[in-house]
Amino acid sequence: MGSVKRKPLAAMEKNQQTQEEEAKPKKKGKETKPVSERKRVEVVAPKMGEQDMAKTLASLKAITIFGASKVLGVNASVAKNLLAALEAKGMITKIGGFSGHYVWASAS
């Protein structure tokens, strides 16, 4: 019949270290970061007017958030806000899409 096999030295040392760590007293309470130390991301809009943005986006067949971000050289979240602003001013119109993946066309 089989008997209990002896563990390798590395495994026995590791087991001994974990037992020693468990025996040490642990600190009570959680250490939390203050709210003021969180990073704040700055959003930079492109340095062009709304008319220039509309002309740049007019060259696209279908204006999407990701297509606009690529053409304008900004993040997708910035492009989404810019497209919403252009739509509110009537420079582009929403023609389709769903669930945040909308498609716009130039209003001209």
Q: Which residue has the higher pLDDT, 38 or 105?
A: 105
State the fold for domain 50-106.
Arc Repressor Mutant, subunit A (1.10.10)
CA distance 52 to 67: 16
What confidence tens digit (pLDDT) does each residue in 41-94 have? 666 677 788 888 888 888 888 999 999 999 888 888 889 988 888 889 888 899
Model-level pTM greater than 0.75? no
pLDDT at 4: 83
Tokens of 85: 């602003």
CA distance 51 to 104: 16
Tokens of 95: 């023609």
- Residue 84: how many CA atoms within 13 Å on its side-chain side? 8
pLDDT at 67: 92
**pLDDT at residue 103 greater than cutoff 80:** yes
The mean pLDDT value for 7-24 works out to: 86
What are the angstrom distances between the C-alpha of 49 and each of 4, 15, 53, 56? 78, 66, 6, 11
At residue 105's C-alpha, the angle toward residues 71 and 84, to 5°, is 70
pLDDT at 36: 64
| DSSP H or E run through 67 | helix 65-72
Q: Poorest-confidence range of 25-29, 50-54, 97-101?
A: 25-29
Residue spans per domain, the chain: 50-106
